[in-house]
Homo-oligomer: A and B are copies of this chain.
């Protein structure tokens, strides 16, 4: 996708041929800064401190993090240690585990001296496959948008509501929840996105709005409280969100607040779709309520970072302010679980499937067939 008109990825190999470059997403939207990862510790920090975030991008960063570890020590023991270390950085995202398993399964049978090159090749392949996966999510999601457009007056705008950032910044290209939007725009369908701010880290206002703006997609930022009201008043045609982990019964674990939007969509008969690469499905889990929910620090709730109001394009020094009553504690669960019954469908790279045990079992068999 584009930033200031220039094509960009979210993760790529530095021109030195071995270190890894990422966009430091904690600085967006105010500063566009590329961070360089040279060690497995750098990669772990980028995941933990959310310089990279979003299930697919976390997976890709972990894969490259393992490459950086192997540069120092390609032994089984060192690889397992690095893998465990990377995996422990974010407890909820299943892609992290998935990507590390793909890497380990590929590398462990190889002799140590062949592992480094093979690791970089496999990490690059994970990125390439993610791009294709996200493209296909867009292709299938576009069909849903076309169906809604067909029921409206020709030329009427389709209003999509999304929560958090399941955009190209959360992946390597296209995004998951945003991929249908980008595909619809390219297909000439008039589309507008309601962007949930997504407290406490404001990934909607900071990242989704940023990437939609740079791709010239009409959008409007709203506070997380506003979506239900908009749905009551016919201003939302469909919701599309991402997911960090999906249970095999269709329960969806995603950014905190997703559940509230699903309830509102249900109450107003608005389709609520979850877009996901099949790698975010945790086949071993039969209920979303078994997913460990990451509790993050209270400072994310009690403080806010931005740039001084009224500054020009060049004044972009980040300032952190305290916004709450001094001395009041805060709790900060990072994810919630949306029960499958509130999910209209799962938009995967293989097509749209029902958020049911049967729907997912069908998908699984199709994945096995092509594997």
Contacts and interface: CB of A to CB of B under 8 A. Distances in A.
Contacts of A321: 304-309, 319, 321
Contact of A264 (B28, B209, B260): B260
A222 B260 contact: no
A314 to B, nearest CB: 12
A183 interface: no
B259 A222 contact: no
Nearest to A298: B221
Interface in A265-323: 267, 289, 293, 301-309, 311, 313, 319-323
Interface centre among A195, A260, A308, A330 (most CB of B within 10 A): A260
Interface stretch (A6-14, A91-99, A140-148, A197-205): A197-205
Contacts of A320: 308-309
A263 interface: yes
Interface string A318-351: 0111111111111111011100000000000000
Interface residues of A, number: 70
Interface in A176-220: 194-195, 197-200, 202, 205-207, 209-210, 212-213, 219-220
A257 interface: yes
Contact of A325 (B210, B263, B309): B210
Contact of A336 (B224, B228, B313, B322): B228
A229 interface: yes
A263 B332 contact: no
Contacts of A313: 326
A321 to B, nearest CB: 3
Contact of A260 (B198, B206, B209, B260): B260
A168 to B, nearest CB: 14
Given A225-B255, A226-B332, 18 more contacts: A29-B326, A199-B225, A205-B325, A220-B329, A220-B331, A221-B329, A221-B331, A222-B301, A223-B256, A224-B224, A225-B336, A226-B336, A228-B257, A228-B263, A229-B293, A232-B289, A306-B322, A309-B320
12 contacts: A29-B324, A30-B326, A195-B328, A205-B328, A209-B325, A213-B325, A219-B328, A221-B329, A227-B260, A229-B333, A263-B263, A311-B322
